[in-house]
Chains A and B, each alone.
Chain A
Amino acid sequence: MTASAPAPSVDELNTLVHDVEDPELPHVTIGDLGMVRNVVIDGRLARITLTPTYTGCPATEQIQEDVAAAVAAAGFTPVIEFAMSPAWTSDWITPRGRQRLVEAGIAPPQERAQERAQERAGDASGSAEFVECPRCGSRRTRSITFFGSTACKASYTCQACLEPFDHFKSI
């Protein structure tokens, strides 16, 4: 940035960090996913704390680089830390994030996943969960496998419009 431009405020930097997009989910930001824990300006340093979604998610390193680049472009030296605890839950995805998932053709996770996990304990079939088709809205959908193209998704098919689709896992 040029010397004359004013340094971004912590609120502006916070917005900038929230707006970094997830590399695997089109137009869904890390703010939408509820991954941003804390943004602090400390002189020339910007200390960013993020929560990773899955321990093995390969996108985590890309997100770290993208956040560092965004922070550096705003004139700060990035210090990025990952907070493992409390563990990320799909309940942290914002309403806008859920909407953007639907727009990307991905069925959002169940709300209150943590609570429901307790109710569902021991149910191997997963039948207590129903997933709406992101294309036609039908609840006549079927799980093809509990897993999908990334760690966070499961594969479904709609029995009404016959389209296959991804479901963001509820954890």
Chain B
Amino acid sequence: MKSPTCDRYAHRQADRALILAQRLLETITHSPEIEEDMALSNLALDLIGQARTLYTYVDPADDGEDRLAYFRDAHEFLNPLLVEQPNGDFAGILVRQFLHDAFAVAYWDAMTTSTDATFAALAGKAVKETTYHLRHSRSWVIRLGDGTDESHRRVAAAVERLWPFTHELFEVDEVERELVATGIAVDPADLLPIWQETVHATLAEATLAVPTDGDRPSGGRVGLHSPEFDALIAELQVVARAHPGATW
């Protein structure tokens, strides 16, 4: 029997995946080439699949996942702020993805040994999917960083802009503490060195500097989001709210 704390934890992970997918889907038809439209929509599809598994776990009712995705208000979403950051340019989209994927691979890999059967099973699939995502986002960071002056400038700016939001991925509060104790959740502190190794090696290969740690914006995981978040949620939910129960 899972606890309310486990539900909250599942929400955080599901929302992280769904909100990042929503940002990616904003780019469809706007990518520099059609292959990249396909790539980013495939990433989004995997992320939505991961989110659906967890929403269904929280609420197994037939309309459970729709209710959680479409009928919660912005402050009820518990995703980290990194994934809701506006796309900006193509470099911004891929840097956000890379910083997330480096975390997601370490996270799901560790979660394969979760004592929670649903999380462990999802992790076994998600680690493969996100490994594939990381391969894509990492290769773009390297291409852009070690590319032209213009691409280098843009990707460097994106790394600087998004870096502060990475700290929140490794935060621990009473939700994690309780679940780490029972082996359901992984201790984010254990993931940090793995994430750093991936990120530092990639930035070095991309001829990019590792930013200095400064601001540590936080709050997404307790429902405090950036001003742009309301617009994202409105776009995500508008059809479902305008036509409740509609099917097509």
A interface residue numbers (CB < 8 A to B)? 52, 54-58, 83-89, 117, 124-126, 144-149, 151, 155, 169, 171
Partner of B121, one of A84, A117, A146: A84
Q: Known contacts A87-B125, A146-B39: does B49 contact A55 (CB below 8 Å)?
A: yes
CB neighbors of A among B98-154 (8 A): 117-118, 120-122, 124-126, 128-129, 131-132, 135-136, 138-139, 142
B124–A85 contact, CB under 8 A? yes
* Cβ–Cβ < 8 Å partners of A54 in chain B: 45-46, 49, 125, 129
Closest to A51 in B: B125
CA distance A125 to B35 in the complex (A): 17
Q: In whole angstroms, how far apart are the Cα atoms of A151 and B118 in the complex?
A: 22
A-B CB contacts (within 8 Å), total count: 78
Contact call B138/A151, Cβ cutoff below 8 A: no
- The distance from the CB of A146 to the nearest CB of chain B, in whole angstroms, is 5
Question: Chain B contacts of A86 at CB under 8 A?
Answer: 124
If A87-B121, A151-B45 touch, does A55 touch B38 (CB 8 Å cutoff)?
A: no
Which 4 residue pairs across A and B have the least CB separation, nearest first? A56-B49, A55-B49, A84-B121, A85-B121
Residues of A contacting B122 in the complex (Cβ-Cβ under 8 angstroms): 55, 84
Q: How far is the CA of A66 from the CA of B129 in the complex (A)?
A: 26
Q: A85-B120, A169-B132 are in contact. List 6 more A-B contacts (CB 8 A).
A: A56-B45, A56-B48, A83-B121, A87-B124, A124-B142, A147-B39
